[in-house]
């Protein structure tokens, strides 16, 4: 399996651009042959990551979307203070104010990688094309 880049898009965004981020992910995922159900999961996941970048990462972020031979790879990054080292892996309790976003993204997308430093957070995920989703 090769991971040659077929097409890549990179955009900076702020809160005003979150809808454009969702639209861009949806259009690119459809063009890459991702199934409708997986497009929905990807849009929800990236929307949450982008909103987190704006909310916790300095008011802006960057999205990079790459079509690959086997589907789509998306990276969302910010320049915030990073994530806590003890980031919970389980669903937060019902009365928790935060913490559900990354929990949800972990369940919706495969190959999730989170890199967190004092210079910011980068979350990379991938979604297979429909025919390779078996």
Q: Tokens in use for 50?
A: 């982008």
The pLDDT of residue 133: 43
- For the chain, the domains span 7-132
Place of tokens 């993204």: 105
Question: Are the beta carbons of 21 and 50 closer than 8 angstroms?
Answer: yes
- pLDDT tens readout for residues 94-134: 888 887 888 889 889 878 999 999 889 999 999 998 864 44
What tokens does 90 get? 């389980």
Mean pLDDT of the chain: 88
Q: The CATH number of 7-132 is which of 3.30.70.1450, 1.10.287.3240, 3.30.565.10, 3.40.50.720?
A: 3.30.565.10
pLDDT digits (tens, 9 = 90+) for 63-104: 999 998 889 999 999 999 888 777 767 888 888 888 788 888
Give me the helices (H) in the chain, please.
18-31, 36-56, 100-108
């Amino acid at each position: 399996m090769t991971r040659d880049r077929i097409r890549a898009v990179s955009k900076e965004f702020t809160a005003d651009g979150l809808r454009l981020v969702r639209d861009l992910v949806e259009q690119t995922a459809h063009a890459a042959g991702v199934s409708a159900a997986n497009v929905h999961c990807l849009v929800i996941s990236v929307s949450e990551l982008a909103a987190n970048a704006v909310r916790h990462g300095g008011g802006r972020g960057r999205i990079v979307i790459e079509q690959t031979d086997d589907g789509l790879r998306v990276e969302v990054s910010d320049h915030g203070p990073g994530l806590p080292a003890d980031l919970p892996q389980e669903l937060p309790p019902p009365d928790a104010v935060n913490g559900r976003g990354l929990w949800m993204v972990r369940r919706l997308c495969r190959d999730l990688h989170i890199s967190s430093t004092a210079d910011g957070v980068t979350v990379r995920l991938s979604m297979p094309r429909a025919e390779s989703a078996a």
